[in-house]
Amino acid sequence: MSGKRGNGEGSIYPYRNGHAAYVWVTKPDGKRARKYVYGKTREEVHDKWIKLHAEAKKGPVATSVPTLAAYLARWVKEVVEPDLKPKTAETYAMHVRLYLTPGLGDKRLDKLTVRDVRTWVNRLLDECQCCAQGKDARRDKPRCCAVGRCCRQVASRRTIQDARAVLRSALTNAMTEELITKNVAGLVKVRSGRKVQRKPWSVEEARRFLEAAQTAHDPLYAAYVLILVLGFRRGEVLGLTWGNVDLECGEITVQLQLQRIRRQLVHDETKTEASSATLPLPQICVNALRLRRQEQERAQLAAGELWADSDFVFTTRYGTPVEPRNFNRSFANRTEKAGVRGIRLHDTRHTCGSLLAALDVHPRVAMQILRHSKIAVTMEVYTHVPSEATRKALRKLGKHLGRQS
């Protein structure tokens, strides 16, 4: 290339130990500004200058690009938190804080490559998160990584998949804002891990658990009935209000949930429209809820002025909402006292269909309760018919509750 400048090349000039150039561009905010490129040789800068001209003709061009950490912080605050459900937003922010910012945060947003993301994924597959996050070091008495005994607390493949999905979502938004032209996270795949095979309770185990809770006059007995018989989730049962319960008509509306988010209890709508529904109440649920109302009235009289007025069905002895974690602990303690095999609270949902069959609930009604789109799915659950002895025991339990109410 000759030393003579070509047409329009007046913006290419010597700079430090190389060359520089600029192009007037329109920024995403609509303002005009110079965008600079640099290189060691004039030829290198000329190529970059040509590409920048082409980008400027296509549309807005960002003149300064933040690091991934800075962009993610803004994305969480301005996009995720206003647009998503509080619990989902909290989960996104957790992945950003624990995995994305520490692993990739110092990369410039427009310089992030497929290789960078792949290297980050591979490192997560082998990196002890107790060491990386300093979990043991924060304990009053360190017991593993901080004292030289690494516990190898490696992130699961599901966790890594979720973290990559959050990154992909963030980069998709960056493309919408025209900060980048390619979503490199979408080009990196993470192999799925094997699902943990969990064994929910049998109908007989569920009956034994409910009988033990009812015999002990457990204040959360009705909550256990709703979880097992109607498949309520923890947040749905704790967020249930008396305004959504109609004992005369035998109906209950799933509409709200109670969750602890960022150290605050949040009473909000269920995550999706499919989660909200008005369900018929089997008689065992009606009886249990009547007992619950009587127990709550007695608790209110005993608490006197200390009682906190609320419409929640399940409350503490002072009328305050039940803490989600405390509900998990109560369920685990009751399971142990009942002498029943321990399972996760969420696994009780899988027992719901079998219990409805044992209670002789019509398949069409069970389909509505289970929120199945096809009756064939419900009938597949109903094929696991419990023994007649178990059926009789459950009916007896329901009648016993009816006499008490």
Integer Cα distance of 250 and 244 in angstroms: 11
**Pick from 289, 318, 315: nearest CA to 305:** 318
What is the distance of C-alpha 250 from the center of its chain? Answer: 32
Domain encompassing residue 106: 68-187
Integer Cα distance of 180 and 55 in angstroms: 11
Integer Cα distance of 170 and 75 in angstroms: 7
Note the residue count of the chain.
405
Q: How many separate domains does the chain show? A: 3
CA distances (Å), 33 to each of 28, 348, 380, in order? 11, 60, 65
Average confidence score pLDDT of the chain: 84
| 3-class SS shares of the chain: helix, strand, coil, % to 5 | 55, 10, 30
Which two tokens mark 337?
A: 């006292």
204, pLDDT greater than 60 = yes
What confidence score (pLDDT) does residue 393 get? Answer: 56
Question: Is residue 6, in this structure, part of any structural domain at all?
Answer: no
Q: Are 87 and 216 members of one domain?
A: no
In this prediction, residue 86 has a pLDDT band, given cuts at 50, 70 and 90, of: confident
Question: Is residue 63, in this structure, part of any structural domain at all?
Answer: no
Q: Are 210 and 178 members of one domain?
A: no
What confidence score (pLDDT) does residue 1 get? Answer: 43
Q: Are 78 and 49 members of one domain?
A: no
For tokens 């990369």, what's the residue? 107
- Burial class (CB within 10 angstroms; exposed 0-12, middle 13-18, buried 19+) of 277: middle
Integer Cα distance of 46 and 3 in angstroms: 13
Between 384 and 231, name the one with better pLDDT.
231
Contact between residue 105 and residue 117 where contact means Cβ atoms under 8 Å apart: no
Q: Does the global pTM surpass 0.75?
A: no
Question: Is residue 371, in this structure, part of any structural domain at all?
Answer: yes
Average pLDDT rounded to a whole number, residues 297-322: 93
Q: Are 133 and 269 members of one domain?
A: no
164, pLDDT greater than 60 = yes
In this prediction, residue 288 has a pLDDT band, given cuts at 50, 70 and 90, of: very high
Question: Is residue 196, in this structure, part of any structural domain at all?
Answer: no
Q: Are 153 and 237 members of one domain?
A: no
Q: Are 318 and 397 members of one domain?
A: yes
Pairing outcome for strands 245-246 and 32-39: unpaired
Integer Cα distance of 336 and 330 in angstroms: 10
Integer Cα distance of 12 and 6 in angstroms: 10
6, pLDDT greater than 60 = no
User: CA 237, 241, 242, 247 torsion: positive or negative?
Assistant: negative
Integer Cα distance of 230 and 285 in angstroms: 9
- Burial class (CB within 10 angstroms; exposed 0-12, middle 13-18, buried 19+) of 263: exposed
Contact between residue 210 and residue 288 where contact means Cβ atoms under 8 Å apart: no
- Burial class (CB within 10 angstroms; exposed 0-12, middle 13-18, buried 19+) of 227: buried
Integer Cα distance of 293 and 222 in angstroms: 10
Q: Are 180 and 276 members of one domain?
A: no
Integer Cα distance of 24 and 214 in angstroms: 76
Which two tokens mark 364?
A: 């069409």
Q: Are 241 and 355 members of one domain?
A: yes
Question: Is residue 238, in this structure, part of any structural domain at all?
Answer: yes
Average pLDDT rounded to a whole number, residues 64-77: 91
CATH of the domain at 246: 1.10.443.10
Question: Is residue 194, in this structure, part of any structural domain at all?
Answer: no
Three-class SS of residue 174? Answer: helix
Q: Are 83 and 47 members of one domain?
A: no
What is the distance of C-alpha 324 from the center of its chain? Answer: 15
Question: Is residue 5, in this structure, part of any structural domain at all?
Answer: no
**Pick from 301, 282, 293: nearest CA to 231:** 282
Three-class SS of residue 323? Answer: coil
Q: Are 158 and 240 members of one domain?
A: no
Average pLDDT rounded to a whole number, residues 105-122: 93
For Cα atoms 298, 225, 381, give the angle at the middle one, nearest 5 degrees: 170
Question: Is residue 1, in this structure, part of any structural domain at all?
Answer: no
Q: Are 176 and 244 members of one domain?
A: no
Q: Flag the least confident range among 72-76, 100-104, 174-178, 392-396.
A: 392-396
Q: Are 381 and 338 members of one domain?
A: yes
